[in-house]
Each structure stands twice: as structure tokens, then as C-alpha cells.
Amino acid sequence: MANHSRATRHSTILISLLLGLQVSHADDWPQWRGPRRDATWHEDGIIDRFPSDSLDIAWRQPIGSGYSGPTVADGRVFVSDRLVEPKQVERVHCFDWRSGKKIWSHTYDCRYENVSYQSGPRAAVTIDNSRAYSLGTMGHLFCFDAGTGQVLWKQDLLSEYDIRMPIWGIAAAPLVYKQLVILQIGGSNGACVIALNKKDGDLRWKALEDRASYSAPVVIQQAGHDVIVVWTGDSVTGLNPGDGSSMWRFDFPPNQMVIGTATPVVDRDRLVVSSFYDGTLMLKLAANRLAVEKMWLRRGASERETDALHSMISTPILSGDELYGVDSYGELRCLDAATGDRIWEDQTATPRSRWSTIHMVRNGHQVWMLNERGQLIIAKLSRDGFHELSRAQLIQPTLEQLRQRNGVCWAHPAFAYRHVFARNDEELVCASLEAD
């Protein structure tokens, strides 16, 4: 009996270790555009072709409307949405990643005022050390216990910082940096960007008189320093994460209106942003000092007569000598990264329409694309062209986000645990991408 007990204990320990290894090798998707905000998915053991023209759905859960993409951490999936009946509310939900069973949900009153496209929250929920940070369209900020949904602290940023509300509301996902939650909100009195203590919400610093854009801030390393890069409605600025002071600034005011949505992208010593009306700006990051200089700025005559790349919702990919992105009417393009010259254009990844969108995520040598028709595409991008490997329907377009062209799927998907998680205005779905 004693030997049997020891053997049982040893087997239990071995199983636990193996399970622990499986968990540790699975990638979370804990924030906007993945673990490093760079739309890179590192898991292996995934399919390289779809078995049919539609994906089998592992589970689906009904939700309301919203533009915020799901995030995944510690075995849980988070997403926010909006209801308008019997009253206007925003909600934050948490689901079990395997079963789809709802773990918790939090609802709060939220009337949208002076906001166009009222389909729901824009910003993805950010997960950090068992805490979930959600930011609503009107500036309601919550810090939850990620496991239970208990509200640890909250703030009404609209009233607290006298936000100059952007026409499409607050959209930039919270960025957690060390002990800070960093937010682009467009507050008055030098509070375009604020940093709060992530444990209690106390203000640590505020920065910039700029108007807010819809672009999420990112952290980069430059000249031995961490730099918070924020593309506001008036500039691309590098902030000192310690006190919010400007380490460098490049003025980039819009010609027509603040419309910057795509996330700043960095590759080596280059930083790029791209806008629907104002084209693409490529900056060079100084190697030994905190400074930037313009490499090139390409702006077309109009949203239809574009030059290099005029992105709307889609964030480009900057990789080596090439820049890939989706232009104003859905044209997938490859540019020479050194000059902005167009190398090729392809219109098969998504239909031609104003603001037509593709969210692109790299995995090894492949790029996974969710287009606005809800189709998931496996492709390779190179200087030679767009090479589609496989395509399948993941989720259906719905009408609340955009009532034109029979609806769209504009929310960014999440890739975690060899699965894909996507939402529209009616449901959250999960599908396996694991190879046999």
C-alpha cells in the first residue's frame, strides 16, 4: 500500500508538471494586439490550411454591440459591449476560454453623448497581474479583479479630466507599464495623456495639450531608455514613462480632422503611423540619443487619390525593407519602406469599400488576416506579392458597427491557446486552430 501511495503521488506530481508545462507554453493575448502590442503570435502547432471553407466553432456566447476586440489571459476571455434597451449601459464580460461559460459580468449606466457610431466600447480590456482594466467610450475606467469581477477601483475620466471628447469617443486601449496605467483621453489642462497608479487609480502624471486620437500608445526602447510613444491628434510624441515629460516630439496635425486610428509600428530604428486622410509618416529613431527625424511623408490628393498608404482601422506591418497595409478603400499594398514607393497592390483580401478593413497578425512566416467580411485568411506577404494559402468563414458581419454593405466585422481578433477568438455585434466565438 505504501509503495502504491508513493507511486500515485509521483504520478500526480508528473501529471501536474506536464500540465504546468502545457499552460506555460500557451500564449496569452492579454491586451490590444497581443502580449507586446505588435500583432505577433508566437504559438506553434497550428494549422497551415483550413479543412473547409468555414471554421468549426468550439463555442459561442451572445453579447451586445461593440468595436472592442477580445483579450485572453489566465484561461479567461474578456470583452466589452453595449445595450440600449431598456436603458443605455456598457458591460464588461469574462468567459472561461475552454467552455465559453460566463464567469462574471459587470454592467454600468453609460449614456453616449456627442459620439458618432454609437455601437459600443472601442478599447480592448487590458489584463495585468490578475487585474482587468477596461475603458469605455465615454471615459468610464474600471479596475477589476480578473477572476471574480470585483471592482477594485474606478474613475469617471470625462468629468475628472474635462475630456474634449473625440467625435468617435475614447478608443485607445489602456497600456500597463510597470506600476502605471497609461491612457490617451484628450483631457483638458495638459491631460491628453495620463498615467495612473495601477493599484489605486491615483494620478501619477499628465502630459500634452494635444487633442486625443484613437491610437493606442506603445512602449519602445530607444538609446537605452523606455519611451512611451503616443500618436495624438496633433503629434507623434515620445514620453518619459517616469514623469510624462516629452523626450521628443514630431508635429503631425491633420489637414481635415483627427482620424488617426492605427497603432504606431516600430521595426528596428523606424517608426510609422498611417492615417485615412493624411497618408503615411515614417520616422527614424536616433540610435544614441532621444530624438527622431522624418524619413518620408507620403500623402495623396484625396482619400480616393491616395499615394502610398492611407490606413483607417488596419494597422500596417513594417518588416525589413517592406511596409504592408490596407489603404482607404481596402487595397492591400506593399510599399518600399525606405521611400514609400508602391511595389504592388491587391484587392482580393477584402472587398473594395470605403474603410474596408483587415486585421493582420504575424505567426512565423505567415500572416493571419481577419477581414471585415469575417473571413480568416492565412497568407504570405513578400515583395513579390500577396500569396493566399487558405481562407475560411469565422464569423458573420453584423449591422450595428456599420449598416452599409450588409454590416462588417471591425473588431480585432485574439489568438491564444492555439485558438482564435472573435466578436461581432451579436456574439463572441472561439474556434480551434490546432494542428492534428
- Identify the DSSP state of 20: H
For residue 133, what is its C-alpha cell?
482594466
For residue 38, what is its C-alpha cell?
505588435
For residue 110, what is its C-alpha cell?
453609460
pLDDT by position in tens, the chain (length 436):
444 444 444 444 444 334 444 443 579 999 999 999 999 999 999 999 999 999 999 999 999 999 999 999 999 999 999 999 999 999 999 999 999 999 999 999 999 999 999 999 999 999 999 999 999 999 999 999 999 999 999 999 999 999 999 999 999 999 999 999 999 999 999 999 999 999 999 999 999 999 999 999 999 999 999 999 999 999 999 999 999 999 999 999 999 999 999 999 999 999 999 999 999 999 999 999 999 999 999 999 999 999 999 999 999 999 999 999 999 999 999 999 999 999 999 999 999 999 999 999 999 999 999 999 999 999 999 999 999 999 999 999 999 999 999 999 999 999 999 999 999 999 999 999 999 8
Q: Where are the domains of the chain?
A: 65-368
Is CATH 2.130.10.10 the right assignment for the domain spanning 65-368?
Answer: yes
* pTM, full prediction: 0.94
In sequence order, the 6+-apart residues with CB closer than 8 A to the CB of 143 are 131, 132, 133, 151, 152, 153, 154, 181, 198, 201
CA atoms within 13 A on the CB side of 168: 21
Of 387, 260, 282, 269, the closest CA to residue 335 belongs to: 282
Q: In this structure, is the dihedral angle defined by the CA atoms of residues 121, 125, 126 and 131, taken in order, positive or negative?
A: positive
